[in-house]
A = this chain, B = another copy of it.
Amino acid sequence: MNKNKKRSDCPISNSLDIWGDKWSLLIIRDLMFNKTCTYKDFLNAGEGIATNILSARLASLEENGMIEKVDNPGTKTRVYYKLTTKGIELVPILVEVHLWAEKYFTIPADIKARIKGAKTDKEGFIKASIKELKKA
């Protein structure tokens, strides 16, 4: 991904150049719902990403300012990742994707519950989520 190649001046295209692959948004999702994740957390997220792909995506997302790697030497979880502000601001997009998907796929109730608040008050839910994430 993203070897500094902008395919065009289109904002959609520019965005996809950074996180428009099968995995990046899932990494962002994990960080949205968990605030911080370790390498292992991502691997256990359910979709089964390969270690080399995960490694490459983390590097790419960090390079593009979407996530931050935090070193915490001496603790159990020595390395973890969190969203930057730029990454946090993808929340509205993720919420819209979530809402769209619920209309067209069968989603288990426990997963639906993750954005339940967005159904009654979308803007409020988004604002609260962003605020929470910025505290991490």
Q: What is the copy number of this chain in the assembly?
A: 2
Contacting residues, chain B, for A25 (C-beta < 8 A): 12, 16, 20
Query: 5 tightest A-B contacts by CB?
Result: A11-B101, A7-B47, A8-B46, A93-B96, A14-B105
> How many interface residues does chain A have, given as a range?
35 or more
Binds B, one of A53-61, A74-82, A84-92: A84-92
The residue in A11, A22, A111 that gathers the most chain B C-beta atoms within 10 A of its C-beta is A11
Q: Within the assembled complex, what's the spacing in Å between the Cα atoms of A19 and B97?
A: 11
Return chain B residues, CB-CB under 8 Å to A48: 7
Whole-angstrom distance between the Cβ of A120 and the nearest chain B Cβ: 15
Neighbour of A89 across the interface among B13, B89, B103, CB < 8 A = B103
